[in-house]
């Protein structure tokens, strides 16, 4: 199906409800639709035509000539290398739009977030609780509206509590989080257990809001944002900065020079190698197999040195700018890079073999944390979590960015849907990434050193662009709307953990308590990426020192 | 005579308190860190457990339970020290008597019971979950061990540990004894509270389970008691099933015993480095298999006796 066919089919089916259809850059169709048609069209696109839901974006456009709020539901036709963005406009101070969640289960959190940040209510949403804002954030204050300043600090209210589900009859609560040994970041899984068996789960997260999107589209210029984007995640920072700059480049309809795109590809794959080794270690740690942790992190360390050698930094490289990269990889660096990957490859193969044949690991990981293919599709999970459940999606192949059109990645797909399948997907990708690094170096060697960036002086307002980048945990999505004064009007980020987290209740249903941490760990959660948004309300100045007496109930002391 | 007994008894208590953490330190530094993990490990070498204990003993004691939570670690330590009087090190146990094994078994069980009681008195969901797992393990792990020793009793027709050692040294292992040592050896990681059977503590699942609410000196006492328990169990195992060389020279026997116990500690370190933690249902299944092997050993002992 081409973009033209998609537009024709939808126009034929819904006629007048589709007010406009355009394709500013190849691969992304923007459809302006009437508000009352959102439900039926989303239903048709998702359930009849088989598109996968990605994310929803709300934009406050009241200061712009069009006015009102724009709601964009982003879908992807992976086989057709096509994005479909359904956009509608609603007006008023308390705007409402029909929820698509009853038809598109994957939109659950996206629509909750839509209300939290821009105040567009989703009618008939099955679970309209607060998702993203702090519990003491004042109701009716929507931080991504343009009349809310980025440095607002509402009064803290220490008595505020999250609205959490109560356990079913006969079950008790096993709190996993907000701080828990194997979750590196705060997240609260309220797990309901009967003895050793899990009967349900509720989630409260988003403790790590940092106001990143707000800062990006209010205070920073185009080439400052990549620095911020890189700090969204401590593991896959380069993925976010690449995703952002490629989204802006797509809005402009301009690609970075080929050499810059190959440099991006190389760094992206190095990031995947280190991330998968890191995950393997953490997974080993979660099930008490410390030897795996120590060995895989030992292998990972030279990858960090390699990053430092290439970019000058271990993690936040500062390489990306809109239009290209800052630094070239010189010819003298090719051999050290190849030597380093060769060593990593030998050692990784040894670890992969040891892990793949370990019967005690099979006992722990096979058949645990199962996510069926149907559930994976409905919840719209991404990355190794999806590929482990037989959903063959990989943004590197489906929506090529950087230089993945010439340096082709392999999709690693397993169908069992258990933790073991996700492990195998990652181990195979680890070895494939090493191949891709080699190919990138070969491609760099084949072309002469030359331009690595198209410097852009100014970017016109009103352009839209989006890009997906396959992070080690799944695809990251960045959507940009350019604004006046050479600044962003709206910057939307969706990290891969966002949809994957929504699959946790399904994964751990009827599981043993022992399988809960590794099930959560199996999709490689990254909470601070997911929770990139909102203003921190911690710095209220009221420092409360907790002494032991405060922790001890009076009757005990 | 009484003086010698008291002297040996005092020495056994000291050995239990010192050798337990020390052997654990050796296993931790040289097996786990150096060989398995490929890292340097604690800079204090094998002495690290002592530093840990000293640090914990000097820390503030936070209490959330009642008097029971405070007294359970002390009773746990008491049970270990009493048990250390009844183990054979240089020869027969110093305070051996007919039926001393039953008393020893009682004190070994007491250790787990005190851990469970302390956990129940803390009363949070992690400690309760851990206590539940500890009880499940206690019911079957000690049973597996007891079944192995029933074979020894049938072979030796005695309940006195001293007799067992002499019998094994004199008549050597027969087929039922060899069969009986399999379950007790394979259940040893559970007695040591180590991976793959450290399900009750499982810090990645239950944040330390029964010990989650223990702090400072209480935690130190528990940890020390667990090191001591490891020493006692290892001593009982190696001396009953491998009493050689049983010479008339007492100190030589003692040194040999310590070497054998150290080997058990190292073996447990190796197992820990090579396995992930099993789920409680998987470990219960595993214990049940060991129980069947132990029962087979009993049948074999009857047939050959």
d(Cα A213, Cα A240) in Å, to the nearest integer? 12
Q: Is the pLDDT of residue A485 over 90?
A: no
> Tokens standing for A198?
């899990």
d(Cα A366, Cα A418) in Å, to the nearest integer? 6
Return the number of other C-beta atoms located less than 10 Å from residue A136's C-beta.
14
Name the CA dihedral angle for A112, A118, A123, A128, rounded to a multiple of 10 degrees. Answer: 30
Instruction: Give pLDDT tens digits for A59-108.
Output: 998 888 888 899 999 999 988 889 999 999 998 888 999 999 999 999 99
> Tokens standing for A436?
């891709």
pLDDT (0 to 100) of residue A439: 94
Return the number of other C-beta atoms located less than 10 Å from residue A105's C-beta.
17
pLDDT (0 to 100) of residue A531: 66
Domain ranges for chain B: 2-304
Q: Is the pLDDT of residue A555 over 60?
A: no
Residue contact A557–B39, C-beta within 8 A: no
pLDDT (0 to 100) of residue A532: 57
Ranking A22-26, A226-230, A254-258, B78-82 by mean pLDDT, the lowest is A22-26
Instruction: Give pLDDT tens digits for B96-144.
Output: 888 889 999 999 999 999 999 998 888 788 888 888 888 888 888 889 9
CATH classification code of A3-156: 3.30.460.80
Ranking A117-126, A179-188, B16-25 by mean pLDDT, the lowest is A179-188
Distance of CA B279 to the CA centre of its chain: 21
CATH 1.10.645.10, chain A: domain bounds: 212-530
pLDDT (0 to 100) of residue A271: 92
A513 touches chain B (CB under 8 A): yes
Which chain A residues touch B205 with a CB distance below 8 Å? 513-514, 516-517
Residue contact A291–B273, C-beta within 8 A: yes
Instruction: Give pLDDT tens digits for A502-548.
Output: 898 898 888 888 888 888 888 888 776 776 543 333 333 343 444 44
pLDDT (0 to 100) of residue A207: 82
SS3 B227: helix
| Cβ contacts of A310-314, under 8 Å, gap ≥ 24 | A310/A267, A310/A270, A310/A337, A311/A267
d(Cα A266, Cα A404) in Å, to the nearest integer? 10
Q: What are phi and psi of A42, to 5 degrees?
A: -60, -40
Instruction: Give pLDDT tens digits for B38-52.
Output: 889 899 989 999 999
CATH 3.30.460.80, chain A: domain bounds: 3-156
Residue contact B37–A295, C-beta within 8 A: yes
To the nearest whole percent, how much of chain A has pLDDT over 70? 95
pLDDT (0 to 100) of residue B291: 93
pLDDT (0 to 100) of residue A543: 38
Residue B238 buriedness (CB in 10 A; 0-12 / 13-18 / 19+): buried
Residue contact B63–A195, C-beta within 8 A: no
Q: Are residues A268 and A325 in contact, defined by beta-carbon separation less than 8 angstroms? A: no
pLDDT (0 to 100) of residue A516: 87
A196 touches chain B (CB under 8 A): yes
More confident residue, B94 or A252: A252
CATH classification code of A212-530: 1.10.645.10
Which chain B residues touch A364 with a CB distance below 8 Å? 276-279, 282
- Average confidence (pLDDT) over B72-87: 93
Tokens 């609560």 identify what position? Answer: A173
A-to-B residue pairs, Cβ atoms closer than 8 angstroms: 91
Distance of CA A41 to the CA centre of its chain: 25
pLDDT (0 to 100) of residue A552: 46
């Amino acid at each position: 199906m081409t973009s033209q066919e998609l537009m024709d089919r939808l126009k034929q089916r819904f006629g007048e409800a589709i007010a406009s259809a355009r394709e500013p850059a190849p691969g992304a169709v923007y459809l302006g639709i009437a508000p009352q048609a959102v439900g039926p069209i989303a239903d048709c696109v998702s359930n009849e035509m088989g598109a996968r839901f990605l994310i929803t974006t709300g934009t406050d456009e009241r200061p712009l000539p069009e006015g009102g709020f724009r709601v964009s539901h982003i879908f992807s036709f992976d086989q057709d290398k096509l994005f479909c963005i359904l956009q509608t406009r609603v007006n008023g101070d308390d705007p409402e739009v029909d929820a698509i969640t009853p038809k598109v289960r994957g939109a659950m959190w996206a629509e909750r977030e839509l209300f939290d940040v821009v105040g567009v209510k989703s009618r008939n949403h099955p679970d309209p609780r607060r998702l993203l804002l702090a519990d003491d954030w004042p109701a009716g204050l929507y931080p991504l509206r343009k009349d809310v300043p980025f440095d607002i600090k509402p009064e803290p209210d220490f008595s505020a509590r999250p609205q959490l589900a109560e356990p079913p009859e006969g079950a008790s609560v096993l709190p996993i989080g907000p701080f828990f040994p194997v979750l590196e970041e705060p997240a609260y899984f309220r797990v309901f257990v009967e003895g050793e068996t899990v009967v349900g789960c509720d989630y409260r997260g988003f403790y790590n809001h940092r106001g990143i999107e707000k800062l990006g589209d209010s205070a920073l210029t185009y080439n400052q944002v990549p620095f911020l984007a890189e700090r969204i995640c401590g593991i896959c920072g380069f993925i976010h900065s690449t995703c952002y700059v490629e989204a802006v480049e797509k809005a402009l309809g301009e690609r970075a020079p080929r050499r810059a795109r190959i440099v991006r590809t190389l760094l992206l794959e190095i990031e995947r190698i280190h991330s998968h080794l890191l995950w393997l270690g953490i997974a080993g740690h979660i099930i008490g197999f410390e030897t795996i942790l120590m060995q895989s992190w030992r292998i990972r360390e030279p990858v960090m040195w390699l990053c430092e050698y290439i970019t000058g930094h271990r993690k936040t490289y500062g390489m990306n700018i809109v239009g290209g990269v800052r630094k070239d990889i010189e010819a003298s660096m090719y051999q050290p890079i190849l030597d380093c990957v060769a060593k990593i490859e030998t050692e990784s193969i040894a670890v992969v073999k040891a892990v793949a044949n370990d019967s005690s690991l099979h006992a722990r990981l096979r058949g645990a944390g199962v996510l069926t293919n149907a559930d994976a599709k409905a919840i719209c999970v991404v990355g190794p979590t999806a590929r482990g459940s037989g959903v063959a999606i990989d943004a590197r192949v489906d929506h090529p960015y950087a230089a993945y059109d010439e340096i082709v990645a392999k999709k690693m797909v397993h169908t069992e849907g258990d933790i073991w399948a996700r492990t195998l997907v990652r181990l195979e990708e680890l070895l494939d990434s090493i191949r891709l690094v080699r190919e990138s170096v070969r491609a760099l060697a084949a072309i002469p050193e030359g331009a690595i960036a198209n410097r852009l002086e100014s970017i016109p307002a009103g352009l839209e662009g989006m890009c997906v980048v396959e992070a080690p945990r799944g695809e990251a999505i960045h959507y940009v709307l350019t604004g006046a004064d050479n600044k962003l009007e709206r910057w939307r980020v969706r990290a891969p953990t966002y949809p994957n987290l929504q699959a946790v209740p399904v994964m751990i249903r009827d599981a043993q308590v022992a399988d809960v941490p590794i099930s959560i760990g199996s999709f490689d959660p990254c909470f601070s990426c997911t929770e990139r948004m909102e203003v921190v309300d911690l710095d209220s100045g009221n420092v409360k020192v907790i002494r032991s007496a405060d922790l001890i109930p009076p009757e005990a002391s | 005579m009484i003086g010698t007994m008291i002297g040996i008894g005092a020495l056994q208590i000291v050995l239990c308190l010192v050798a337990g953490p020390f052997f654990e330190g050796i296993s931790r530094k040289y097996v786990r860190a150096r060989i398995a993990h490929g890292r340097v490990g604690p800079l204090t070498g094998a002495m690290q457990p002592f530093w840990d204990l000293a640090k914990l003993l000097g820390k503030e004691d936070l209490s959330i339970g009642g008097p029971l939570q405070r007294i359970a670690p002390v009773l746990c330590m008491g049970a270990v020290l009493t048990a250390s009087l009844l183990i054979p090190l240089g020869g027969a146990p110093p305070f051996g008597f007919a039926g001393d094994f039953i008393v020893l078994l009682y004190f070994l069980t007491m250790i787990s019971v005190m851990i469970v009681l302390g956990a129940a008195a803390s009363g949070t969901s992690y400690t309760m979950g851990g206590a539940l797992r500890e009880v499940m393990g206690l019911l079957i792990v000690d049973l597996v061990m007891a079944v192995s020793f029933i074979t020894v009793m049938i072979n030796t027709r005695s309940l006195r540990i001293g007799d067992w050692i002499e019998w094994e040294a004199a008549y050597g292992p027969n087929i039922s004894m060899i069969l009986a040592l399999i379950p007790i050896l394979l259940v040893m990681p559970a007695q040591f509270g180590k991976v793959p059977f450290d399900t009750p503590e499982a810090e990645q699942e239950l944040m330390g389970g029964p010990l989650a609410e223990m702090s400072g000196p209480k935690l130190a006492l528990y940890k020390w008691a667990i090191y001591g328990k490891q020493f006692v169990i290892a001593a009982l195992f190696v001396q009953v099933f491998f009493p050689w060389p049983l010479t008339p020279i007492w100190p030589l026997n003692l040194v040999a015993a310590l070497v054998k116990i150290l080997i058990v500690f190292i073996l447990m370190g190796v197992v820990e480095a090579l396995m992930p933690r099993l789920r409680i249902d998987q470990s219960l299944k595993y214990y049940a298999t060991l129980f069947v092997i132990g029962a087979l050993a009993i049948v074999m002992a009857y047939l050959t006796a």
